[in-house]
Amino acid sequence: MEAGVEELMPRLLPVDDCDLAEDFDPTVPPRTPQEYLKRVQIEAARCPDVVVAQIDPKKLRKKQTVNISISGCQPAPEGYSPTLKWQQQQVAHFSAVRQSLNKHRNHWRSQHLDSNVTMPKSEDEEGWKKFCLGERVYSEIDALSDNENLGIDYIKVGFPPLLSIVSRMNQATVTSVLEYLISWFGEKKFTPELGRWLYALLACLEKPLLPEAHSLIRQLARRCSEVRVLEENKNEEQISALNLIICLVSRYFDQRDLADEPS
């Protein structure tokens, strides 16, 4: 068996018979090239022929399956498809927003956050959903009580994507929060709070896109097209917001197969 392996896998550093000192000890640093090569040969001979990886099954329980759809976006409802001019205007404005954000990122990052603003850790999915959407949307409470309307409670209505907040988010956090909100949107309705955060996170997303971000924004555009079709009351403001996200994903981030055909 060993002879067969030797023929299939010849040694790259063959060690000829050489005179080694009688006190040669392979456990101490080699003193000559011959001792070094001999030590490598001894260590290689001790390696097992088969190695079995020890895998912790707990780490594989979450998100084992990834569903990938290659379908495009569903067409806009009749009469609600955006014009090409409108889409071009949105892309131009979005590009200007991104340039301004990048230019002033260090300034906004240095600004102090209000005492009531505590940004969750990157891996805190539930914390970020509540932070962005607020307890009212997250818990699906229809309306605020009268005494709560007297002032803004950001814990309940969600923190807006202020520049002082999003400028502190690195790309890993931006991608994670985008994933959390898209996951939430996959089963919930579209809200203004969600729309503001999706726009802000897209503005913070760096190009060229990483594969994970590429998949996420395509998933987002398709979900927007699904919700747009199912919009019963045909709320123009909401459809316009959904059109905007689809437009940015398809035309700014170069996912042209998802773009709305101009009306």
Higher pLDDT among residues 141 and 99, named by residue: 99
Cis peptide before 29 (omega within 30 of 0): no
- The whole-number pLDDT of residue 153 equals 78
Q: By the 8 A CB rule, do 132 and 181 touch?
A: yes
Which range (12-21, 172-181, 230-239) has the least confidence?
12-21
The average pLDDT across 162-178 equals 95
The average pLDDT across 10-16 equals 55
Q: Is residue 65 situated within a structural domain?
A: no
Domain limits at 240? 84-141+152-258
CB atoms within 10 A of CB 244: 21
Q: Is residue 211 situated within a structural domain?
A: yes
Q: Which candidate, 91, 142, 83, 28, places its Cα nearest to that of 253?
A: 91
Q: Is residue 146 situated within a structural domain?
A: no
Q: Is residue 233 situated within a structural domain?
A: yes
CB atoms within 10 A of CB 188: 16
Global model pTM greater than 0.85 = no
Q: Is residue 97 situated within a structural domain?
A: yes
- The whole-number pLDDT of residue 174 equals 97
- The whole-number pLDDT of residue 6 equals 46
CATH number for 216: 1.20.58.1070
- The whole-number pLDDT of residue 36 equals 74
- The whole-number pLDDT of residue 46 equals 72
